[in-house]
């Protein structure tokens, strides 16, 4: 069974910091089309601190590391994203407590629990045009790979990135029902959800980081800042 090392988990978080910081203004511009335009800055405020403190974070095991990330995200990411993303990391930390490597099944369970936590925290469900519309299909695809016994984690990552990208177009014409974008109602139809876009771009950047050859096909992922 192929395992995901603690070093890989740490690298994924480090890469996510770079993704969020590079896309700070792009994500806020996307949010400004239907929301209050703060999404990129909210995320970047927290991830800038994670990036700066990265070398001194608790790395005694994966759970301890993710718990620290969860605390920093909850404390420093602004707007509604802080509690949402913080809850996701908290749930992932609980299931990886004491572990120094993860199987694909472990990682899939962590995402499943993160999704449950985010749903409980924010009250959103599939089709409400939130990041759950990316995370839930990614989780379903991961469960398929667990059931099939897929050993090549690069294949899983590529498929996950595909699912997140598909969610951008699948939800584009929906009206947002949760978060601040819901307050503008119909104006959110036709604009992509920045949370969904952020998940797609993070997964695309993980592909790049971990040597998975993948060409993006949705405008928002193709056109992000280099």
Binding site for Mg ion (CB under 5 A): 31, 35-36, 38-39, 180
Task: Collapse the DSSP code of 3 into the 3-class scheme (helix H, G, I; strand E, B; otherwise coil) and give the result.
Answer: strand
- CB closer to Mg ion out of 39 and 85: 39
- Distance CA(43)–CA(89), nearest Å, equals 14
C-beta of 131: minimal distance to Mg ion in Å?
A: 12
- Distance CA(66)–CA(19), nearest Å, equals 18
- CB closer to Mg ion out of 31 and 163: 31
Contact yes or no for 129/193 (Cβ under 8 A): yes
C-beta of 36: minimal distance to Mg ion in Å?
A: 4
DSSP 112-159: HHHHHHHHHHH---TTSSSTHHHHHHHHHHHHHHHHHT---HHHHHHH
C-beta of 27: minimal distance to Mg ion in Å?
A: 9
Q: Which residue is nearest to Mg ion (CB)?
A: 35
- CB closer to Mg ion out of 31 and 109: 31
- Distance CA(6)–CA(10), nearest Å, equals 6
- CB closer to Mg ion out of 30 and 156: 30
- CB closer to Mg ion out of 81 and 204: 81
Contact yes or no for 155/185 (Cβ under 8 A): no
- Distance CA(64)–CA(163), nearest Å, equals 29
C-beta of 184: minimal distance to Mg ion in Å?
A: 11
Number of residues in the chain: 226
C-beta of 81: minimal distance to Mg ion in Å?
A: 8
C-beta of 169: minimal distance to Mg ion in Å?
A: 21
**What would the two tokens of residue 80 be?**
């509604």
**What would the two tokens of residue 213 be?**
């050859």
- CB closer to Mg ion out of 84 and 114: 84
Tell how far CA 222 is from the center of its chain: 17
């Amino acid at each position: 069974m192929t395992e995901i090392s603690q070093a890989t988990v740490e690298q994924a978080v480090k890469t996510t910091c770079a993704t969020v910081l590079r896309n700070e203004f792009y994500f806020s511009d996307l949010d400004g089309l239907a929301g209050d335009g703060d999404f990129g800055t909210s995320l970047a405020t927290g991830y800038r601190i994670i990036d700066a403190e990265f070398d001194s974070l608790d790395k005694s095991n994966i759970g301890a590391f993710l718990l620290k990330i969860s605390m920093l995200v909850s404390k420093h990411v602004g707007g509604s994203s802080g509690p949402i993303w913080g809850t996701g990391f908290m749930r992932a930390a609980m299931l990886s407590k004491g572990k120094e490597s993860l199987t694909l099944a472990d990682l899939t369970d962590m995402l499943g629990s993160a999704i449950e936590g985010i749903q409980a925290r924010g009250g959103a469900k599939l089709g409400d045009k939130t990041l759950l519309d990316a995370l839930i299909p990614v989780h379903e695809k991961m469960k398929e790979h667990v059931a099939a016994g897929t050993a090549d984690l690069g294949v899983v990552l590529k498929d996950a990135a595909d699912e997140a990208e598909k969610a951008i177009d699948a939800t584009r014409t929906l009206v947002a029902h949760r978060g601040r974008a819901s307050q503008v109602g119909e104006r959110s139809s036709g604009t992509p959800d920045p949370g969904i876009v952020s998940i797609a771009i993070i997964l695309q950047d993980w592909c790049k980081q971990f040597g998975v050859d993948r060409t993006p096909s949705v405008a928002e992922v193709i056109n992000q800042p280099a």
